[in-house]
Amino acid sequence: MSWDKFAEWLGENQQEFIGAGLRIVGVAIGAFLLSRFLRRIVGRVEKKVSEHTTPMRTLQRTQTLTKVLSSAGIVIIWVLAIFYILGELNFNLAPLLAGVGIVGLAVGFGAQNLVRDVVTGFFILLEDQYGVGDIVQINQVATGKVEQLTLRMTGLRDLDGTMHYISNGSIDHVANRSKDWARAVIDVGVGYSESSDRVRAVLLRVAQEAKEDPELGRSLYTEPEVLGVERIAEYEIVWRMIAETKPARQWEVGRALRERIKVAFDRENIEIPFPHQVLVAPDGRPAQPTPSE
């Protein structure tokens, strides 16, 4: 094509080129402004949460969700803008869309476990099933304190220091033992000869003293409750006491109450029985232990 013909063709299509160029520039500027606006909204939400949120768990949850939504929104904005610009440049989008669909399908099949982990992790954060600092049991296998929580995996620190890494997509069951509040359950056995009224009075006194204690009382929401006889066992009567505690304090409170009950029972001479072994001779008389050689 000669220069004269090119100049003539350019003059005939000048208005179309200018219009398409302006539309492309407008779409690019609009996508840029929308991305900036989305980032600013996310930044304001994070700032507001950080000002009015005390628990680090809630702050982390909000920051993670806002970052995910922000990134997804920006990707969608620019993908739509790029497709519109290519359309204005008279590119045939059908093969491109088909290729993108095939690549996406292949990536989806190859990374389906990763996608499942991310989706599950997103809903764990969105529904606040658990967070960093919670003590949970996952799949009735691993139990510990949550030290890491991302969209892909959960890290649990066991009592003996073992670190468990669990992909979120493999989580079927979660038992959160520090969600909002907790309960300490204390079972204590006494002898059959002990008076029920006397045992109840001692347990009630222990419960009252525990609530009034300046250290232990801070971990209790209410005064521990004596439920009564839980079961009649082979050689003991089992009494049960429960205490509503702050999250993850049920073990500490349970140990302290058991120690106080032991001291109170010793002071009041209340028997805490334990199993005995008695050797019986064939004639029915107790057998004498044989001296050690």
Q: What would the pLDDT profile of 237-260 be if each residue is shown by its tens digit? A: 999 999 999 988 999 999 999 999
The token pair at 78 is: 């620019």
Rounded Cα gap, residues 223 and 198, in angstroms: 19
Residue 11 pLDDT level (bands cut at 50, 70, 90): low
DSSP result, 13-74: THHHHHHHHHHHHHHHHHHHHHHHHHHHHHHHHHHHHHHH---HHHHHHHHHHHHHHHHHHH
Rounded Cα gap, residues 149 and 155, in angstroms: 6
Domain boundaries, the chain: 7-110, 129-176, 182-267
Question: Residue 292: its pLDDT value, please?
Answer: 46
Which three-class secondary structure state does DSSP give residue 106?
A: helix
On whether the 7-110 domain is CATH 1.10.287.1260, my answer is: yes
Lowest mean pLDDT among 80-94, 148-162, 215-229: 80-94
Tell me the CATH number for domain 182-267: 3.30.70.100
The model's pTM: 0.63
- 69 has a pLDDT exceeding 60: yes
Question: Residue 238: its pLDDT value, please?
Answer: 95
Tell me the CATH number for domain 129-176: 2.30.30.60
- The arrangement of strands across the sheet holding 142-149 comes to 163-167, 153-157, 142-149, 135-138, 174-176
Question: Residue 12: its pLDDT value, please?
Answer: 58
Rounded Cα gap, residues 52 and 148, in angstroms: 23
Tell me: the pLDDT tens digits for 71-97?
Answer: 677 777 877 777 777 776 777 666 666
Question: Residue 248: its pLDDT value, please?
Answer: 87
Question: Residue 25: its pLDDT value, please?
Answer: 79
β-pair type (153-157, 142-149): antiparallel
CB atoms within 10 A of CB 293: 3
Question: Residue 81: its pLDDT value, please?
Answer: 79
**Mean pLDDT in residue range 3-13:** 56
Say which amino acid occupies 230: E
Q: Which residue has the tokens 């073990």?
A: 251
- 55 has a pLDDT exceeding 60: no
